[in-house]
Amino acid sequence: MSEPKDHMTLIVFSNDLDRAMAAFILATGAASSGMEVTIFFTFWGISLLRKKNFVGGKKKLVERLFGWMLPEGPEDATLSKMNFFGAGTSMMKNLMRKKKMPQLADYLSMARSLDVRLVACTTSMGIMGIRQEELLDNIEYGGVATYLGKARESGVNLFI
Amino acid sequence: MSEPKDHMTLIVFSNDLDRAMAAFILATGAASSGMEVTIFFTFWGISLLRKKNFVGGKKKLVERLFGWMLPEGPEDATLSKMNFFGAGTSMMKNLMRKKKMPQLADYLSMARSLDVRLVACTTSMGIMGIRQEELLDNIEYGGVATYLGKARESGVNLFI
Amino acid sequence: MSEPKDHMTLIVFSNDLDRAMAAFILATGAASSGMEVTIFFTFWGISLLRKKNFVGGKKKLVERLFGWMLPEGPEDATLSKMNFFGAGTSMMKNLMRKKKMPQLADYLSMARSLDVRLVACTTSMGIMGIRQEELLDNIEYGGVATYLGKARESGVNLFI
């Protein structure tokens, strides 16, 4: 077994662009320095894993409502502050593009190619009425036990 | 002394329904798998421990104002996002009830019966003007030193 | 090398008065009990390190806009909840002053005199268009690698 300090877990609770960026910058930085990284997506964070424009499946009205209101994937994410109905978010995205920085969707791909494990919290999916077919392919599913198993052998555990 | 990885501490800073749910799902999950869990309630999180409709005590006006505005216990907690003046929160509570999931107040009882230690931060109580008689019975009180003493011997420490 | 449990790292992502207070109360508490503490300021948190009324330097319009909107240092920070256009924040500051509690700016000085390391995240500075001359003197600069190096040898790591 490798040393605890070589593992990192992140709980991504939020779907805010800024918090998600922070999580992925940490995750890809750690993975490229050789750490084993697992990200658990819970609650609002689940929506970062949603496929764009997914249609289909039978849902109850209340689940459908949540579905409409939640962002679909990383490109829909907005800032937690100074969003100003999208203007602040666009401004920051432009600033990042000019500086040739990767966008959130790029970080997501980067994380996958660096073998960062992406786990969707099944409890949260139940609460939100989100189903597996709505989420990206090739991610993992788990609950609190999965998280705790990993966090107990990790040296760095953050809730973002 | 047990191994550090068998302890978990959570700082619950927020009184949002969603964040509080995340904290209690983690805490009860960990406690039922045999981990020793301590939750520190700070700042807004303190209000999750308030008794419902507590009346009495002499307070300064400004403390009284805070008292009126802060939620009273887990049933008053609302979502951090998509609250829509309570509609979003009701929707999610209904969805959870239909799926027979426990509500926040149930998680709080569950945590107590699993011997999760609930500690109210005395520094925050001072800032908010909240007194011990306003909070649930049989909780503990402590400050930063109490927290650090516990966190240093824990393998999983999260700020929620 | 000292024991992992004697180190603490905090990522201060937010510039909210309440979250910043929580971070500094933890940091100064830990440092005065002999722990080695490092605070990483990322994203909005960077603005807590800004000098008051800094003028000068050439910036692009969009960077200038962010500059105007972001708070300048600890005295500009407002509550994440119940701010009510500043009224809630003033109320809490008054309450704290009456109880002779230190303000955020006092905690910042206290942290410095206790040798808490203050590190500004260079990646975030790039995203926000904030430059070194705008920030306090005698702080450190670093990125993810700096953070991870420290977090891996710390027993308590929190994202605030």
C100-158: pLDDT as tens digits:
888 899 999 999 999 999 999 999 998 888 899 999 999 999 999 999 999 999 999 99
Question: And the tokens for A159?
Answer: 């809730």
Task: Check residue B56 and give its pLDDT.
Answer: 67
With CB atoms and an 8 Å threshold, state whether A101 touches C147.
Answer: no
With CB atoms and an 8 Å threshold, state whether C148 touches A30.
Answer: yes
Query: What residue type is assigned to position C108 of the chain?
Result: L
Between B21, B155, B160, which is nearest A159 by CB? B160
The reported pTM is: 0.90
Which chain B residue has the Cα nearest residue A147?
B26
Distance CA A49, CA B142 (A): 39
- Please count the other Cβ atoms lying within 10 Å of the Cβ belonging to residue A107: 20
Nearest to A30 by CA among A114, A129, A147, A109: A114
How distant, in Å, are the alpha carbons of A154, C9, C32, C147 from that of B155? 8, 14, 22, 19
With CB atoms and an 8 Å threshold, state whether C94 touches B62.
Answer: yes
Which DSSP category does A73 fall into? S
Give B-chain residues touching A123 at CB under 8 angstroms.
25
pLDDT at B132 over 60: yes
Task: Give the gap in angstroms from C-alpha A64 to the nearest C-alpha of chain B.
Answer: 12
Question: And the tokens for A146?
Answer: 């999965």
Using 50, 70 and 90 to split pLDDT, how confident is the model at B97? confident
With CB atoms and an 8 Å threshold, state whether A13 touches B5.
Answer: no
Task: Check residue C127 and give its pLDDT.
Answer: 83
| C62 phi/psi in degrees, rounded to 5 | -65, -35
Nearest to C101 by CA among C92, C89, C90: C92
Task: Check residue A7 and give its pLDDT.
Answer: 96
Residues whose CB falls within 8 Å of the CB of residue C89, separated by 6 or more in sequence, listed in order: C17, C78, C79, C83
Which chain C residue has the Cα nearest residue A90?
C62
Kindly list the partner chains of chain C, i.e. chains with 3 or more CB atom pairs below 8 Å: A, B
pLDDT more than 90, % of chain A: 58
Kindly list the partner chains of chain A, i.e. chains with 3 or more CB atom pairs below 8 Å: B, C
Using 50, 70 and 90 to split pLDDT, how confident is the model at C1? very low
Residues whose CB falls within 8 Å of the CB of residue C77, separated by 6 or more in sequence, listed in order: C15, C16, C17, C20, C48, C71, C104
By the 8 A CB rule, do C152 and A156 touch?
A: yes
Q: Determine the residue among B15, B148, B158 to mutate to test chain C binding: the one whose Cβ has the most chain C Cβ atoms within 10 Å.
A: B148
Distance CA A80, CA B117 (A): 32
With CB atoms and an 8 Å threshold, state whether C157 touches A159.
Answer: no
Query: What residue type is assigned to position B54 of the chain?
Result: F
With CB atoms and an 8 Å threshold, state whether B147 touches C91.
Answer: no
Helix, strand, or coil (residue B81): coil
Distance CA C36, CA B140 (A): 27
How distant, in Å, are the alpha carbons of A17, A21, A94, B143 from that of A75? 9, 12, 13, 41
Task: Check residue A106 and give its pLDDT.
Answer: 93
Using 50, 70 and 90 to split pLDDT, how confident is the model at A111? very high
Lowest mean pLDDT among A8-22, B97-111, C68-82: C68-82
Mean pLDDT of chain C: 88
How distant, in Å, are the alpha carbons of C71, C125, C128 from that of C67? 8, 11, 8
Task: Give the gap in angstroms from C-alpha A24 to the nearest C-alpha of chain C.
Answer: 11
> What are B15-53's pLDDT values in tens digits?
999 999 999 999 999 999 999 999 999 999 999 999 887
Task: Check residue A56 and give its pLDDT.
Answer: 67
Which chain A residue has the Cα nearest residue B7?
A152
For the four alpha carbons of B146, B152, B157 and C2, in that order, the dihedral sign comes to: positive
**Sheet strands (E) in chain A:** 7-12, 36-41, 117-121, 140-142, 156-159
Lowest mean pLDDT among A56-65, C50-59, C121-130: A56-65
By the 8 A CB rule, do B36 and B8 touch?
A: yes
Question: And the tokens for B13?
Answer: 């800073």
User: Could you tell me which residue, C94 or B140, shows the higher pLDDT?
Assistant: B140
Helix, strand, or coil (residue C80): coil
By the 8 A CB rule, do A144 and B26 touch?
A: yes
pLDDT at B1 over 60: no
Task: Check residue C5 and give its pLDDT.
Answer: 65
With CB atoms and an 8 Å threshold, state whether C92 touches B147.
Answer: no
User: Could you tell me which residue, C120 or A103, shows the higher pLDDT?
Assistant: C120
Using 50, 70 and 90 to split pLDDT, how confident is the model at B70? confident
Helix, strand, or coil (residue C129): coil
Give C-chain residues touching B65 at CB under 8 angstroms.
91
Lowest mean pLDDT among A46-50, B112-116, B124-128, B138-142: B124-128
pLDDT at A1 over 50: no
Size of interface A-B (CB pairs under 8 A): 64
